[in-house]
Amino acid sequence: MSRVLNWPKSLNWYWRLGATGFAYALFGLGGVILSVTVFPLMLVLIRNQDQRWRAAQGTISRSFRLFLWTLDALGVAAARVENVAQLRAARGMLITPNHPTLLDVVHILSWVDSCQCVIKAALFSNPFLAGVVRAAGYIRNDGDPERLIADCATHLRAGANIVIFPEGTRTPSGEALGRFQRGMATIALNAPADLIPVLVYCNHDTLKKGVPWYRIPASKIRYRFQVHPPWRVADFLDPAVPRARQTRALTQAFEGYIQETLVHDIAGNGA
């Protein structure tokens, strides 16, 4: 009798496992299709580099919306976002989310038609995503901090927003937040550019660092994103204080703010 009662749950789990594998394949295939069709055509039709980057970013945004709709329809993952209008109205700011899972950046880039992103160098040689990140003109993080800071400052001063994860990588499994790196604060102070905190909540410890894709949760993944009011970087700029101390102060203050909000937002645990 118990086996009969448990069968629907088991069937749902296997369905979502197959759907998750399909979603991974779809994501990679979509990147290849865009790289060999749409983006080469843009290269021919749009001669201005900045306009071409914005067009590519808009294409990526719409593609991500379709991908996320597919995840929802398949029963894999769903999300809701609060105060997204503030993000869409921002200009020349750093979008600074915590980074619990692989899908965080996909969600964020799906909300805005044009946005820059700091990308690890390995993705520029990834067979599925290299064409995408190159076409969009995303900022390459190749281990040269001075070049990264200069590239980010150029885009920020031109009015572009940049997504950068203060943790530097995904949150480790079993933890609410990873240790913040100083790169975000260094870029913000040197540009200078204000920060837009985005709090990311997920109801499962899945797709985190160290968790394989096939270790799916017992139920549908649900995200909640909160766009918080901007942080004024000018409050941390003081000519009398060494830049290293300013960077450390901003990093610690921002990490404390995110940590406190994640811990005390009870609704976030259930997404």
Distance CA 96, CA 257 (A): 12
Residue showing tokens 């990490």: 255
Distance CA 185, CA 236 (A): 10
Q: Which helix (H) or strand (E) holds 247?
A: helix 243-264
Burial class (CB in 10 A: 0-12, 13-18, 19+), 44: exposed
Confidence of residue 267 (pLDDT cuts 50, 70, 90): very low
- Nearest-Å Rg of the Cα atoms of the chain is 20
The domains of the chain, with CATH numbers, are 2-270 (3.40.1130)
* Tokens describing residue 13: 């789990």
**Mean pLDDT value across the chain:** 91
- Least Cα distance to 59 among 117, 127, 132 occurs for 132
In whole angstroms, what separates CA 52 from the centre of its chain?
22
- Total Cβ atoms within 10 A of residue 160: 22
- Quote the percentage of the chain above a pLDDT of 70: 94
CA dist 254 → 145, 164, 185, 261 (Å): 21, 14, 9, 11
Q: In this structure, are residues 223 and 77 in contact, taking their beta carbons and an 8 Å threshold?
A: yes
Distance CA 39, CA 136 (A): 9
Residue 266 pLDDT > 60:
no
DSSP strand E in the chain: where?
Answer: 77-82, 94-97, 116-120, 139-141, 162-163, 195-202, 221-227
Kindly report, residue by residue over 41-77, the tens digit of the pLDDT. Answer: 999 999 999 999 999 999 999 999 999 999 999 999 9
pLDDT (average), residues 142-171: 93
* Tokens describing residue 153: 């400052």
Kindly report, residue by residue over 214-223, the tens digit of the pLDDT. Answer: 888 888 999 9
Distance CA 11, CA 174 (A): 27
In whole angstroms, what separates CA 170 from the centre of its chain?
10
